[in-house]
């Protein structure tokens, strides 16, 4: 077990019951723990520190998660807005912004609390979210074949090391239109997995991602589409279902949205022009 996995998994004593027999057993379970994200910023001629969010996440790639969260919330627009990142405790990260970064006070006045299932609660308004984006996809580009698309869930599953050991974790991955893996993130929370992807791509200069595909291991919510909008993703596919608001936002942003991607079957909810069936 590598170092990243060792902090994301714990051993748990359980009893297995099968065919009328009860046997002691040692199982592996995914770790869920809070991460507090603080920011230090310059306002009114002085430095301020604020606890911005608490998210329930799987430990590992915390730096990526925090940076991706700040980017997806529109607090930073580029990686160079960050002076440094400090881990002051196991579950507390401080993002130090440059003194030239202008932080909107109404954003900081919101209370962010994210569970592993629901994402960020207490958004100021849907209108504000739909207007907060850095990049938009190119119309009808790129193209992806249905054959390549149907292979992606198996490719994702084959590289989910934490899922193999626990069976209880979500994944998000960026693929090229030809099916080549670009980057992968796993977390007990779907939203955290996507933020980890965003943070990783932002730090490595991969944004915008106007030629790539975002694959999700679960369902597609409004917030996940909004996060994909921030990096210019043109195609979102998932093994689960999209919500009505996710479909509306994808249509508005010109994103291809694909759900129930299982075996050789899937549903295209919008943006079918990017799909090659033959």
- DSSP strand pairing (181-187 vs 82-89): unpaired
Q: What is the pLDDT of residue 277?
A: 87
Q: What is the pLDDT of residue 119?
A: 47
CA-to-CA separations, 113 to 28, 109, 141, 228, in angstroms, rounded:
27, 13, 36, 20
CATH topology of domain 144-276: Cytidine Deaminase; domain 2 (3.40.140)
Copy the structure tokens of residue 171: 């994944």
Q: What is the pLDDT of residue 89?
A: 87
Q: What is the pLDDT of residue 110?
A: 60
What value, to the nearest 5°, has the Cα angle with vertex 258 and ends 133 and 231?
A: 20
Q: Which long-range contacts (CB under 8 A, 24 or more apart) does 260-265 make?
A: 261/149, 261/150, 261/152, 261/153, 261/215, 261/237, 262/153, 263/150, 264/150, 265/150
Residues 6+ apart with CB under 8 A from 49: 38, 39, 40, 94
User: Is 121 considered catalytic here?
Assistant: no
List, run by run, the mean pLDDT of 10-residue segments along the chain (278 residues): 74 92 93 95 93 93 96 92 94 96 74 50 46 72 96 91 80 96 94 96 94 96 93 96 96 96 96 92
Q: Give the Cα separation of 240 and 74 in Å (integer).
A: 27
Query: pLDDT tens digit string along 100-135?
Result: 999 876 666 665 555 444 444 434 444 554 545 567
Q: What is the pLDDT of residue 116?
A: 47
Q: Give the Cα separation of 234 and 271 in Å (integer).
A: 9
Residue 118 backbone dihedrals phi, psi, to 5 degrees: -100, -10
Catalytic, out of 118, 134, 201, 270: 118
Q: What is the pLDDT of residue 133?
A: 55
């Amino acid at each position: 077990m590598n170092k990243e996995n060792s902090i994301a998994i714990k051993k748990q004593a359980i009893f297995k019951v099968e065919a009328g027999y009860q046997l002691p057993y040692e199982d592996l379970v995914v770790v869920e723990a809070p991460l507090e994200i603080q920011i230090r910023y310059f306002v009114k001629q002085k430095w301020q520190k604020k606890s911005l969010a608490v998210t329930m996440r799987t430990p590992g790639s915390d730096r990526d998660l925090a940076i991706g969260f700040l980017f997806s919330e529109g607090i930073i627009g580029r990686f160079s807005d960050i002076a440094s990142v400090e881990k002051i405790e196991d579950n507390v990260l401080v993002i130090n912004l440059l003194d030239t970064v202008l932080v909107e006070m109404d954003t900081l006045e919101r209370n962010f609390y994210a569970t592993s299932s629901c994402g960020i609660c207490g958004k100021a308004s849907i209108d504000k979210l739909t207007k907060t984006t850095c990049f938009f996809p190119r119309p009808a580009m790129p193209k992806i074949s249905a054959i390549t698309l149907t292979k992606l869930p198996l490719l994702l599953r084959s590289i989910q090391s934490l899922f193999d050991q626990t069976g209880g974790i979500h994944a998000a991955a960026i693929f090229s239109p030809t099916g080549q893996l670009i980057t992968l993130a796993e977390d007990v929370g779907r939203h955290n997995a996507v933020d980890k992807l965003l943070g990783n791509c932002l730090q490595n200069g991969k944004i915008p991602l106007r030629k790539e595909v975002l694959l999700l291991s679960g369902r597609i919510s409004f917030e996940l589409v909004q996060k994909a909008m921030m990096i210019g993703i043109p195609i979102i596919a998932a093994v689960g279902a999209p919500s009505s608001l996710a479909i509306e936002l994808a249509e508005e942003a010109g994103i291809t949205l694909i759900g129930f991607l299982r075996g050789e079957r899937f549903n295209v909810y919008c943006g079918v022009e990017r799909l090659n069936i033959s």
